[in-house]
């Protein structure tokens, strides 16, 4: 077993309804006749995985933006349900949805609260805050000005969002926006959003590709830096001083590790950015995996396990890579008391794989069983 923090030997996990009742590390079977699911001697049990950055509204196709525009709300919800189920069947039992259209993810949150076995728990941001015609403006989150930014944060809180997402820099999916390396919001706007969100008890996730956007978002006190690509007009080049500042801060680096094997991708660029991610983790930054699932064919909604594998290829230990996708991710998502760990009182969100992922993370791809809220779904 890997409990979210460390490996251990054989265990018996006692579940009552949707919670873990206790963990017997002797491996003894219950004596009261409780039904037992034997996963076999070659299985490893671990907490359900947590993807800290997904877009359930994006279909993972070659042009998700055009596809989104052509899809009705009813059909989009059906697509989002299928995406959520795909993630769940890969052992991803919790996701942060960091950008949907018109708060549709909150409809799905309500559905899965009633029927948790149909998908992962979703921590939704709603439409991300962006400048007029800025990155992902088509999701409905265009806003500028101090009072409008505060009002937008309050609206997300009132609707029940779990996190506020702001586009600190431009992005590739929106030709009308500034380039990915350029900033959309300045330091004062970022601080306004952080202060208002924190006043209401909400964390802030900042989409930040550019070096200046990363620096401004970090100084504003965001809770997570999304992508952290260190882009400039001259390409990708890590800033050692800024990397050290991230390490010294309380801010998480949510890195977009993981691509689907066999799908064409710019391998040189991906390798460069993965090297940055591996370096950040080894320096001591709080690195979690936010796969950005849905944005392209290389990013299907079940891609997170490949992110764990890719971090290990960069020299991150398998144990640290697993922690990044379980207990550390739960800390970022503010669900650490019940997610990302196997212990009494935690949610019965569990993944069983063939083999030992602490020795070889490729075992995550050989799923034996998935449990969501105590119900076996695979």
Which residue is listed with tokens 């202060």?
Answer: 195
Give the separation between CA 80 and CA 101, rounded to whole angstroms: 11
Residues 111/105, Cβ–Cβ less than 8 Å: no
Nearest-5° Cα angle at 162, 157 to 165: 85
Q: Is 3 left (phi over 0), alpha (psi -120 to 50) or beta?
A: alpha
pLDDT at residue 312, rounded to an integer: 97
**pLDDT by residue, tens only, the chain of 378 residues:** 999 999 998 899 999 999 999 999 887 777 776 788 989 889 999 999 999 999 999 999 999 999 999 999 999 999 999 999 999 999 999 999 999 999 999 999 999 999 999 999 999 999 999 999 999 999 999 999 999 999 999 999 999 999 999 999 999 999 999 999 999 999 999 999 999 999 999 999 999 999 999 999 999 999 999 999 999 999 998 999 999 999 999 999 999 999 999 998 888 889 999 999 999 999 999 999 999 999 999 999 999 999 999 999 999 999 999 999 999 999 999 999 999 999 999 999 999 999 999 999 999 999 999 999 999 999
pLDDT at residue 168, rounded to an integer: 98
pLDDT at residue 61, rounded to an integer: 97
Give the separation between CA 244 and CA 253, rounded to whole angstroms: 12
Asked whether the domain spanning 127-255 has the same topology as the one spanning 12-45+340-376, the reply is: no
Strands 286-289 and 164-167: unpaired
pLDDT at residue 25, rounded to an integer: 85
What would the two tokens of residue 121 be?
């728990």
**Domain locations in the chain as residue ranges:** 12-45+340-376, 127-255
* Separation of first and last alpha carbons in the chain: 18
- What phi, psi does 234 have (nearest 5°)? -100, 5
Give the separation between CA 55 and CA 94, rounded to whole angstroms: 13
- What phi, psi does 159 have (nearest 5°)? -75, -15
Give the separation between CA 18 and CA 15, rounded to whole angstroms: 7
pLDDT at residue 239, rounded to an integer: 94
Mapped onto helix, strand or coil, the DSSP state of residue 336 is: coil
Residues 192/146, Cβ–Cβ less than 8 Å: yes
Which residue is listed with tokens 């991230």?
Answer: 246
Residues 96/162, Cβ–Cβ less than 8 Å: yes
- What phi, psi does 45 have (nearest 5°)? -95, 135
**Alpha helices, DSSP H only, in 115-172?**
146-159
pTM given for the model: 0.97
Residues facing 164 on adjacent strands: 204
Residues 2/322, Cβ–Cβ less than 8 Å: yes
Residues facing 46 on adjacent strands: 351
Q: Can you point out the beta strands (E) in 56-139?
A: 92-97, 121-124
Cβ of 318: how many Cβ atoms within 10 Å? 22
CATH number for region 127-255:
3.20.20.140
What would the two tokens of residue 53 be?
């950055």
For domain 12-45+340-376, is the CATH number 2.60.40.420? no
pLDDT at residue 41, rounded to an integer: 85
Cβ-Cβ contacts under 8 Å for 102 (sequence gap 6 or more): 73, 127, 139, 140
Give the separation between CA 368 and CA 361, rounded to whole angstroms: 14
Give the separation between CA 315 and CA 198, rounded to whole angstroms: 35
What would the two tokens of residue 237 be?
């080049």
Q: What is the helix (H) or strand (E) element at residue 167, kind and residue range?
A: strand 164-167
């Amino acid at each position: 077993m890997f409990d979210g923090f460390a490996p251990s030997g054989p265990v018996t996990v006692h579940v009552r309804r949707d919670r873990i009742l206790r963990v017997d590390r002797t491996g003894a079977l219950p004596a009261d006749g409780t039904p037992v699911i034997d996963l076999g001697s070659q299985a490893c049990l671990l907490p359900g995985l947590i993807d800290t950055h997904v877009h359930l509204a994006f279909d993972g196709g070659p042009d998700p933006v055009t596809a989104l525009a052509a899809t009705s709300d009813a059909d989009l919800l059906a697509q989002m349900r299928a995406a959520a189920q795909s993630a769940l069947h890969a052992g991803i039992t919790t996701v942060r949805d960091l950008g949907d259209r018109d708060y549709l993810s909150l409809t799905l949150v309500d559905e899965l609260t009633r029927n948790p076995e149909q998908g992962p728990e979703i921590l939704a941001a709603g439409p991300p805050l962006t400048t007029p015609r800025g990155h992902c403006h088509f999701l409905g989150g265009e806003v500028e000005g101090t009072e409008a930014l505060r009002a937008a944060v309050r609206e997300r809180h009132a609707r029940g969002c779990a996190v506020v997402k702001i586009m600190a820099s431009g992005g590739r999916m929106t030709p009308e926006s500034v380039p990915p390396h350029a900033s959309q919001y300045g330091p004062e706007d970022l601080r306004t959003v952080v202060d208002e969100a924190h006043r209401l008890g909400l964390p802030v996730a900042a989409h930040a590709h550019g070096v200046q956007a990363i620096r401004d978002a970090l100084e504003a006190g965001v809770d997570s830096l999304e992508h952290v690509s260190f882009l400039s007009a001259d390409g990708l080049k890590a800033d050692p001083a800024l990397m050290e500042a991230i390490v010294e801060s309380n801010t998480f680096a949510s890195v977009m590790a993981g691509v689907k094997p066999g799908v064409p991708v710019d391998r040189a660029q991906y390798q460069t950015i993965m090297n940055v991610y591996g370096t950040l983790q080894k320096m001591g930054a709080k690195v979690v995996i936010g796969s950005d699932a849905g944005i392209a064919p290389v990013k299907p909604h079940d891609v997170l396990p490949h992110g764990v594998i890719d971090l290990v290829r960069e020299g991150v230990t398998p144990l640290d890579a697993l922690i990044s996708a379980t207990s550390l991710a739960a800390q970022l998502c503010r669900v650490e008391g019940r997610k990302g760990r196997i212990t009494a009182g935690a949610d019965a969100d569990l993944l069983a794989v063939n083999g030992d992922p602490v020795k070889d993370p490729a075992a995550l791809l050989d799923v034996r069983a998935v449990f969501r809220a105590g119900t076996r779904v695979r």
